Amino acid sequence: MNNEKQTISKEEAAATLKSVDSTKRDAIKSFRIPLLLITLISLSYSLVVFSWGMTEHDNLWALGMYIGMASFGIFLAFSLYTFRLLGIKINILPRSNERIKSELVSLLIFAVILIFGRQFRVYEGIEYAPHIAALISGGYMAYLLYKYPTGEYLVGNQK
């Protein structure tokens, strides 16, 4: 390889950046978290949502919530470790404005599901509200982990 400093044209630089972006896009699209790990992460989060909705005065469901939080953390650490073994660096904190917006929207959706699952059971008397909230949140978590495994929301080819 030649280490001499050379100036490149604007077109060559644009082509190089496009090539790097294409390589990154292909690498992210080609890798998926194993389905077992996606299932375990979403089930553990569902357990947290369900247990939160069912708790009353620190009953036994609080233990389920703690177990769900611990298993969610462990399974999430396994998925990050899987990425690390494959050489993919995951940015935990969002850096782009688009990712910040999408993460805030996801956070808002999960918070609304968590709060309403409990409130409908406690104040409205709908006994199956935590079941529905856990099902929706677990499904949404599985969708996000399958569709966007690295958290990057890649924009299609722009012209």
Q: What is the 3 state secondary structure string of 50-101?
A: HHHHHCCCCCCHHHHHHHHHHHHHHHHHHHHHHHHHCCCCCCCCCCCHHHHH
pLDDT digits (tens, 9 = 90+) for 73-105: 999 999 888 888 877 777 788 888 888 888 899
Q: What is the pLDDT of residue 122?
A: 85
Using DSSP's 3-state secondary structure scheme, residue 128 falls into: coil
- What's the rounded Cα separation, in Å, for the pair 55 and 65? 9
pLDDT digits (tens, 9 = 90+) for 21-64: 777 666 666 667 888 999 999 999 999 999 998 887 767 888 88
Residue 4 has pLDDT above 50, yes or no: yes
- What's the rounded Cα separation, in Å, for the pair 15 and 125? 61
pLDDT digits (tens, 9 = 90+) for 117-148: 989 988 888 889 999 999 999 999 999 988 88
Q: Do the Cβ atoms of 72 and 49 come closer than 8 Å?
A: no
